[in-house]
């Protein structure tokens, strides 16, 4: 199955799931629910896009949830304690998150740590750093003080396309959050980066066969470092959107989001074997997860069952990825055998 056909199959499954919940849960197909889906899972889609880069490199980033918390607390502290303007806070938070991701890459490249171990260690370290710089702990009175800077809160803006198109009197369209458009911009940018640049080709080559990439003259260390930096950047952007939505940041922000990001990426066809996948599939995977979780909630399914189902979906996706990898290996062996006999 080609990457394009796999993406179409995933999209078809997403549409079928969406239609199922529209029928099974009458309140699912409402404008407000669509708004919740777009605003509540756009940041998950951004996280999944970022997570795709380490996975394409045969790695993984378990620290994205902790980086979300770190970037969110930086925004909180700089706005409520240091009173910096939002236009300055946002790039600082993004740079800090990108550097945190780059540190993960440095541990993998320079110290030769397994990505699982390296990012598991930084998950704990970054989460501890969040508590140490927490403005909620340093200045307890700020725990109930919302962030009001328009540069930050303005990211939670909604657009009424029904009124803009002049059809609001005949049909009720969901208001589209700005975060959804930001996600689309991120998707377009990284899709272009992977598909139409030298870096993208190098990243696929390193993920597919690191030794062949090295022999071809590709700086595998730099590519790996950049891949993890992209993951950190996306985590920082997701944190900013979350803080804009919540108007605050807590020490627990981002907890468990690494699982959602990995699940969305793997469901979206990014192979854990490296070198195969795109950023389109993870976005569909993120909204597929969102559709399932919201639909189950409306059907009255408990949150514990939803967590079990999310884990089951991830296991199924990993198992399917493993099956595809074995098929690719058998096909390669068969082709080599044919060439040898020829």
Phi/psi for 94 (5° steps) reads -65, -40
- What letters, b where the CB count within 10 A reaches 16 and e where it falls short, cover 291-307? bbbbbbebeeeeeeebe
What are the pLDDT digits (tens) for 126-146?
A: 999 999 999 998 898 888 899
Q: Are 232 and 94 spatial neighbours (Cβ–Cβ below 8 Å)?
A: no
Q: How confident is the model at residue 269 (pLDDT cuts 50, 70, 90)?
A: confident
Q: Is the pLDDT of residue 267 over 80?
A: yes
Task: Flag the least confident range among 17-31, 205-219, 301-315.
Answer: 301-315
The burial of 193, by beta-carbon neighbours within 10 Å (0-12 exposed, 13-18 middle, 19 or more buried), is given as: middle
Strand, coil or helix: 332 = helix
Q: What is the DSSP string of 96-108?
A: HHHHHHHHHHHHH
Residue 175 CB: number of other CB atoms within 10 A?
A: 18
User: Is 0.85 surpassed by the pTM of this model?
Assistant: yes
How large is the C-alpha radius of gyration of the chain? Answer: 21
Cβ-Cβ contacts under 8 Å for 308 (sequence gap 6 or more): none
Q: Please write down the long-range contacts of 303-310, taking CB distance under 8 Å and 24 or more positions apart.
A: 310/259, 310/260, 310/263
User: In the predicted model, what is the mean pLDDT of residues 51-55?
Assistant: 97
- The average confidence (pLDDT) of the chain is 89
Q: How confident is the model at residue 1 (pLDDT cuts 50, 70, 90)?
A: low
């Amino acid at each position: 199955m080609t990457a394009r056909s796999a993406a179409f199959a995933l999209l078809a499954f997403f549409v079928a799931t969406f239609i199922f919940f529209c029928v099974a849960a009458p309140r699912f197909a409402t404008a407000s629910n669509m708004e919740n889906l777009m605003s509540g899972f756009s940041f998950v889609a951004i996280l999944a896009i970022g997570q795709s880069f380490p996975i394409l490199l045969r790695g993984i980033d378990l620290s994205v949830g902790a980086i979300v918390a770190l970037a969110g607390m930086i925004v909180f502290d700089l706005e409520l304690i240091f009173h910096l303007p939002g236009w300055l806070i946002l790039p600082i938070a993004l740079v800090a998150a990108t550097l945190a991701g780059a540190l993960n890459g440095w541990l993998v490249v320079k110290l030769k740590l397994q990505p699982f171990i390296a990012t598991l260690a930084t998950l704990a370290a970054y989460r501890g750093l969040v508590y140490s710089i927490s403005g909620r702990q340093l200045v307890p009175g700020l725990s109930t003080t919302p962030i009001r800077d328009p540069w930050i809160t303005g990211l939670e803006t909604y657009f009424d396309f029904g009124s803009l198109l002049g059809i609001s009197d005949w049909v009720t369209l969901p208001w589209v959050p700005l975060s959804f458009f930001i996600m689309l911009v991120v998707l377009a940018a990284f899709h272009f980066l992977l598909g139409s640049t030298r870096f993208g080709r190098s990243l696929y080559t390193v993920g597919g066969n690191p030794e062949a990439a090295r022999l071809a003259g590709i700086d595998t260390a730099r590519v790996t470092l950049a891949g993890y930096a992209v993951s950190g950047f996306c985590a920082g952007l997701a944190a900013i959107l979350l803080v804009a939505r919540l108007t605050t940041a807590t020490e627990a922000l981002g907890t468990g989001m690494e699982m959602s990001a990995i699940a969305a990426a793997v469901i979206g066809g990014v192979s854990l074997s490296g070198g195969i996948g795109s950023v389109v599939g993870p976005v569909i995977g993120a909204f597929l997860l969102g559709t399932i979780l919201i639909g189950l909630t409306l059907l009255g399914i408990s949150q514990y069952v939803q967590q079990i189902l999310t884990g089951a979906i991830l296991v199924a996706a990993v198992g399917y990825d493993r099956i595809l990898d074995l098929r690719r290996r058998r096909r390669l062996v068969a082709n080599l055998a044919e060439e040898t006999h020829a």
